[in-house]
Structure 1
Amino acid sequence: MPSAESSHLSLGVCSWSLQVTSIPELNRLLAELGVKATQIACGDPHHAAWDEGDAMPRAAREADFVMTGAMLGFPGEDYTTPQTIKETGGFGPVPLRRERMDRLRWALGRTEDLGLSDLMLHAGFIPEPGQPDRDAFLDTLREAGRLAAEQGITLAFETGQEPAELLRATLDELASPSLKVNFDPANMLLYDMGDPIKAVELLGPDIRSVHLKDARRPTTPGHWGEEVPLGRGEVDFPRFLAALKSIGFDGPMLIEREVGDQPARIRDIDHGLAFVKHLLANS
Structure 2
Amino acid sequence: MKFSVFTASTPEWTPQEAATQLTAQGWHGIEWRVTDQAEAPEPGFWAGNKATWPMTGIEDSVPEIARITSEAGLEFSGLGGYARCDNHDGVERVLAATAALGARQVRVNVLPLGNSTMGGLEPSGLSYPELFAATRGHYEWVAERAAHHGVKALVELHHGTVTASASSARRLLEGLDPQHVGVIHDLGNLLIEGWESPLPALELLGPYLAHVHVKNARWVRTENRDEAGASVWVNEWAPLAEGQGSVLEYFKALASVGYDHWVTVEDFSTEVPLAERTAGNLDFLRRAADAAGLTISGTRAAGSLSKG
Do both proteins adopt the same fold according to a TM-score greater than 0.5, normalized to the shorter chain?
A: yes
Alpha carbons of structure 1 residues 12 and 43: separation in structure 2 relative to 1, 3 Å:
same
**Residue ranges of structure 1 left out of the alignment (5+ in a row):** 1-6, 75-89, 92-96
State which structure, 1 or 2, has the greater radius of gyration over its C-alpha atoms: 2
Q: Distance in 2 between matches of 1:104 and 1:150?
A: 13
Equivalent of 1:123, from 110, 116, 132?
110
Which moves more between the two structures, 152-161 or 197-206? 197-206
Per the alignment, residue 40 of structure 2 pairs with: none
Amino-acid identity (%): 21
Deviation at 1:260, TM superposition (A): 3.4
Q: Distance in 1 between matches of 2:140 and 2:18?
A: 34
What RMSD in Å do the two structures reach over aligned CA positions? 3.1
**Does the alignment pair 1:26 with 2:11?**
no
TM-score, with normalisation over the residues of structure 2? Answer: 0.71
Residue 44 of structure 1 aligns to a residue whose secondary structure is coil
Q: Distance in 1 between matches of 2:128 and 2:193?
A: 22
Deviation at 1:181, TM superposition (A): 0.7
Deviation at 1:268, TM superposition (A): 2.4
Q: Distance in 1 between matches of 2:276 and 2:108?
A: 26
Q: Distance in 2 between matches of 1:115 and 1:260?
A: 32
**Does the alignment pair 1:14 with 2:1?**
no
Q: Distance in 2 between matches of 1:192 and 1:224?
A: 16
* Alignment map for 1:85-234 (pairs within 5 Å): 90-91=84-85, 97=86, 100-125=87-112, 131-161=129-159, 162-174=164-176, 177-191=179-193, 193-217=195-219, 225-234=235-244
**Does the alignment pair 1:58 with 2:75?**
no
Q: Distance in 2 between matches of 1:32 and 1:60?
A: 18
Q: Distance in 2 between matches of 1:179 and 1:185?
A: 20
Q: Distance in 2 between matches of 1:146 and 1:44?
A: 25
Asked if the contact 1:205/1:247 (under 8 Å) is kept, the reply is: no
Asked if the contact 1:120/1:156 (under 8 Å) is kept, the reply is: yes
Asked if the contact 2:7/2:31 (under 8 Å) is kept, the reply is: yes
Q: Distance in 2 between matches of 1:54 and 1:25?
A: 22
**Residue ranges of structure 2 left out of the alignment (5+ in a row):** 38-45, 115-126, 223-230, 293-308
* Letter matched to residue 240 of structure 2: L
Aligned residues: 252
TM-score, with normalisation over the residues of structure 1? Answer: 0.77
Q: Distance in 1 between matches of 2:60 and 2:284?
A: 35
